[in-house]
Every structure is written in structure tokens, then in C-alpha cells.
Amino acid sequence: MRHHRQELTFTLPTRRGFVNITPQVARAVAESGIAEGMVLVNAMHITASVFINDDESGLHADYERWLEELAPHEPVGRYAHNRTGEDNGDAHLKRQIMGREVVVAITGGKLDLGPWEQVFYGEFDGRRPKRVLIKIMGD
């Protein structure tokens, strides 16, 4: 079995945002030379997510509205977590519901995604560098 590890770093200029990272994940799979196996992609920070869904701007706007309804950023005083002096209590909750990681099968050296499936980085407390881990295992 072969292994390949790589990190991506994102610094979003805004507090929240979604980035389609499918090209970077596909590139890592190509660089690994692994034809049959699995790739794990996970956010390395507890206020960011990696998830799979459609690259459709209306859906992303729906996510933004839905997440703000569930866990609004303001007022920051509503979150016990923010008593630590932070203001990102909402971002931890948003990360929880959008997930930490995805696993995608690799078949014939390519990501074996379903129709319309794309891999996204979800940022909920941006404006600083944050990392995503890509770990590939297979033959």
C-alpha cells in the first residue's frame, strides 16, 4: 500500500465562504500515482469544514442563510464559548453541522465522484491562514 500526504492552505478575505477544492484534490491524487484507493480530505481547524455537494451559487446562498438562521454570528454574547474572549462561537456550530471531512474513492487514478458531486472547503471564521489535509492511501 502506498501513501501520500499533502496540505492546502486557504486565507479567505471574508469571515465565511465556500471554495471548490475539487481541482486541488484531483491534482493531489494525480501526484500520488495511486490508481485504486481512497482519499481523505479534512479541515484541520475546528471552525472550518470540508463537504461534498453541488457547485451551484443558489445552493451556496441557501447554505449561508440556513447556517445564519441556525447559528447567527451576532449577537456574539449569545454563545457561552465567546466568554473565552473569542467571537467565533457560531463558527464552531456551523463547522459541526457541515462536517469535518470527506472520503472519496479513487478508481483508475481519478476521483470516483457521483453526478454533480464536488468537494468544498467551508470557512466560518476566515481572514487567517487555515489548512486542509489530504491523505491518500492505495496502490
Q: Which is nearer to Zn ion, 1 or 80 (CB)?
A: 80
Q: Which is nearer to Zn ion, 60 or 92 (CB)?
A: 92
Residue 23 Cβ vs Zn ion, minimum distance, rounded to whole Å: 30
Q: What is the DSSP string of the chain?
A: -EEEEEEEEE--SSSSEEEE-HHHHHHHHHHHT--SEEEEEEESSTTEEEEEE---HHHHHHHHHHHHHHS-S-SGGG-GGGGGS-S-HHHHHHHHHH-SEEEEEEETTEE---TT-EEEEEESS-SS-EEEEEEEEE-
Q: Which is nearer to Zn ion, 86 or 117 (CB)?
A: 86
Dihedral sign of CA atoms 16, 18, 21, 23 in order: negative
Q: Which is nearer to Zn ion, 55 or 86 (CB)?
A: 86
Q: Which is nearer to Zn ion, 86 or 101 (CB)?
A: 86
Residue 50 Cβ vs Zn ion, minimum distance, rounded to whole Å: 18
Residue 102 Cβ vs Zn ion, minimum distance, rounded to whole Å: 23
Residue 92 Cβ vs Zn ion, minimum distance, rounded to whole Å: 6
Site string for Zn ion, 47-66 (x = CB under 5 A): --------------------
Residue 86 Cβ vs Zn ion, minimum distance, rounded to whole Å: 4
The sheet carrying 48-53 orders its strands as 17-20, 118-123, 48-53
**Chain residues 65-94 in contact with Zn ion, contact rule CB under 5 A:** 86, 88
Contacts with Zn ion by CB under 5 A lie at 86, 88
